[in-house]
């Protein structure tokens, strides 16, 4: 039903939603994940169906893959949305990836109906049945069962066992391709794939190399891909130095010198795009071409949807209530989003190389800001991906890959 990546699948069930078309829903569950590597994770997913075909885009929140996860303890998942007005049925379940054991409990699908919440699915799995759950890939190596090993509130759990998934090629945790280098007081982790002109990949906030799991294989057919875990993220280590995009750019510059990379193409997404801009401005001799997705020069209502900053501030407030210290990595990375970067449009005049400026049509980075960045950089082109948000490389991988490959290959 939905194509999934290596070691990645979707488990779901389908229910009739007659009389609920167009209604809003909330889908919640408890989750517990035992994983063997940093890239295993799961998120809830919901999609509307008609005649067995998906209507619109599946509703899921990729950010929860890393944000919500707490090792060795139960935590909460939740997503909300609206059922398509033409839907005949609704599919819901979990998108999961990586070598791990996934336990779920208290799975509830609520529909908002006349100012009240009406559960149309709710299970505590006491019947120990998994007959109505299906894999998106019929030959999935994962196994489904009801487990008594991990209970929540004394109730058995819905169990997805993906512990036998192959681990020979897990992006971001590949012992054959991964290396560390001592850079500016931390150990930067990176992986190298393919041959050809050097292309450095820079991921977004609180992410890792794995963010590009739908890009690396295709990019490696054209380039020597060097995918880097930014300091304090992925498998790279951290110190107490203040996190700034200038520091991230200095790390990349120093790593390039250590690897004797005279010049490379740069592909940056979100935080990685901000870092890429600084690299091109401060170290022009090292950057051949720059492709940036969802970049900002500064954080204000002019550049970012104000709702995002409210959510970020709520996250900071929650951290404080939970007793998290300001030197915790999660706190520092969230604070970075709220307070950085501090670039000016005049800074872009220093960039002379070819630049591809990209954004999703529905990105929380305002399109007017993206367009102004492209307009200000002299030798730039603009690409807005229709019907896509901040997660373009995951939402439209084929179009995104083709776009960046054509840009970097263009003479």
Residue 98, helix vs strand vs coil? coil
Q: Is pLDDT at 349 greater than 90 in this prediction? A: yes
pLDDT given for residue 120 in this prediction: 86
Going 76 to 164 to 57 to 157, the CA torsion angle's sign is negative
CA angle 37, 268, 42 (to 5 degrees): 30
Least confident of 125-134, 180-189, 378-387: 125-134
The lowest-confidence range among 64-73, 351-360, 379-388 is 64-73
Contact call for residues 242 and 336 (beta carbons, < 8 A): no
User: Tokens for 218?
Assistant: 């295709």
Which string of DSSP letters, residue by residue, matches 160-225?
EE-TTS--SS-TT--TTTEEEEEETTEEEEEEEE--SSEEEEE--TT--GGGGTTTHHHHTTTSEE
Burial 265-293 (b: 16+ CB within 10 A, else e): bbbbbbbbbbbbbbbbbebeebbbbbbbb
Residues 6+ positions from 139 with CB-CB distance below 8 Å:
none
pLDDT reading at 168 higher than 60 = no
Least confident of 55-69, 182-196, 294-308: 55-69
- CA angle 170–243–68, rounded 5-degree value: 50
Token reading at 54: 């998906």
Exposed, middle or buried by CB within 10 Å (0-12, 13-18, 19+), for 116?
A: exposed
Alpha helices per DSSP H over 3-82? 64-67
* pLDDT 10s digits, 105-155: 999 999 987 777 888 888 877 777 787 898 887 667 889 999 998 888 889
For the segment 38-53, the average pLDDT, to the nearest whole number, is 84
Inform me whether the pLDDT recorded for 2 exceeds 70.
no
Flag whether pLDDT at 180 surpasses 80: yes
Helix (H) or strand (E) holding 368: helix 367-376
Burial (CB count within 10 angstroms: exposed 0-12, middle 13-18, buried 19+), residue 330: middle
Q: How far is CA 206 from the centre of its chain?
A: 9
Residues whose CB falls within 8 Å of the CB of residue 127, separated by 6 or more in sequence, listed in order: none
Q: Is 144 exposed, middle or buried (0-12, 13-18, 19+ CB in 10 A)?
A: middle
Asked if residue 23 has pLDDT above 70, the reply is yes
Total residues found in the chain within this entry: 411
Alpha-carbon gap, residue 111 to 118, rounded angstroms: 5
Q: Is the omega angle on the peptide bond into residue 341 within 30 degrees of 0, that is, cis?
A: yes
Residues 230-278: pLDDT tens digits?
999 999 999 999 999 999 999 999 999 999 999 999 999 999 999 999 9
Instruction: Compare 75 and 303 and report the one with higher pLDDT.
Output: 303
Tokens of 259: 């690897």
Cis peptide before 352 (omega within 30 of 0): no
What is the reported pTM? 0.67
Write the CATH number of the domain with boundaries 178-409: 3.40.50.1820
Sign of the CA dihedral with 211 first, then 95, 135, and 125 last:
positive
**Does position 62 have pLDDT exceeding 80, yes or no?**
no
pLDDT, average across residues 174-199: 95
To the nearest whole number, what is the mean pLDDT of the chain?
90
Residues 48-73: what's their mean pLDDT? 75
Task: Identify the CA nearest to 408 among candidates 196, 279, 265.
Answer: 265
Q: Computed from CA positions of residues 115, 116, 120, 122, in that sequence, does the dihedral angle turn out positive or negative?
A: positive
Of 62 and 301, the one with more pLDDT: 301
H/E stretch holding 15 reads strand 8-16
Does the domain at 8-161 match CATH 2.60.120? Answer given as yes
3-class secondary-structure state, position 394:
helix
In this prediction, what percent of the chain has a pLDDT beyond 90?
68
Q: What is the spatial distance between Cα 179 and Cα 368, in angstroms, rounded to a whole number?
A: 39
The domains of the chain are located at 8-161, 178-409
Give the pLDDT band of residue 6 (cuts 50, 70, 90). very low
| Contacts for 167 with CB less than 8 Å, ≥ 6 apart | 7, 36, 37, 99, 173
Which residues, listed in sequence order, are joined to residue 182 by a DSSP beta bridge?
187
**8 A C-beta contact, residue 38 and residue 208:** yes
Calculate Rg over the CA atoms of the chain: 22
């Amino acid at each position: 039903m939905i194509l999934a990546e290596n070691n990645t699948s979707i488990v779901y069930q389908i229910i009739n939603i007659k009389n609920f078309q167009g209604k809003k829903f909330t889908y919640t569950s408890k989750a517990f994940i035992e994983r063997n590597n940093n890239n295993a994770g799961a998120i809830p997913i919901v999609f509307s169906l008609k005649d067995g075909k998906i209507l619109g885009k599946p509703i899921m929140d990729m950010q929860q893959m890393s944000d919500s996860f707490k090792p060795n303890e139960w935590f909460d998942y939740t997503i909300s949305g609206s059922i398509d007005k033409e839907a005949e049925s609704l599919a819901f379940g979990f998108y999961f990836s990586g070598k791990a054991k996934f336990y779920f409990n208290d799975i509830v699908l609520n529909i908002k109906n006349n100012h009240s919440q009406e559960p149309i699915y709710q299970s505590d799995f006491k019947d120990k049945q998994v007959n109505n759950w299906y894999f998106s890939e019929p030959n999935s190596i994962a196994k489904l069962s009801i487990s008594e090993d991990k209970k929540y509130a004394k109730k058995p759990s819905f169990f997805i066992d993906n512990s036998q998934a192959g681990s020979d090629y897990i992006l971001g945790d590949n012992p054959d391709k991964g290396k560390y280098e001592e850079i500016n007081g931390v150990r930067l982790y990176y992986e190298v794939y393919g041959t050809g002109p050097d292309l450095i990949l820079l991921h977004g906030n609180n992410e890792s190399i794995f963010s590009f799991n739908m890009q690396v294989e295709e990019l490696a057919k054209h380039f020597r891909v060097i995918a880097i875990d930014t300091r304090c993220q992925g498998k790279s280590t951290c110190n107490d130095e203040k996190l700034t995009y200038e520091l991230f750019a200095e790390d990349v510059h120093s790593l390039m010198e250590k690897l004797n990379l005279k010049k490379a193409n740069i592909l940056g997404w979100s935080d990685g795009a901000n870092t890429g801009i600084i690299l091109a401005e401060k170290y022009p001799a090292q950057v051949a071409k720059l492709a940036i997705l969802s970049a900002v020069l500064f954080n204000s209502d002019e550049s970012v949807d104000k709702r995002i900053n409210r959510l970020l501030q709520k996250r900071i407030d929650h951290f404080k209530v939970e007793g998290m210290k300001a030197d915790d990595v999660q706190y520092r990375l969230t604070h970075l989003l709220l307070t950085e970067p501090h670039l000016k449009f005049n800074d872009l005049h220093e960039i002379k190389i070819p630049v591809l400026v990209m954004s999703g049509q529905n990105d929380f980075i305002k399109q007017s800001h993206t367009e102004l960045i492209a307009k200000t950089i002299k030798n730039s082109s603009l690409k807005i991906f229709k019907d896509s948000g901040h997660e373009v490389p995951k939402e439209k991988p084929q179009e995104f890959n083709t776009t960046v490959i054509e840009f970097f290959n263009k003479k």
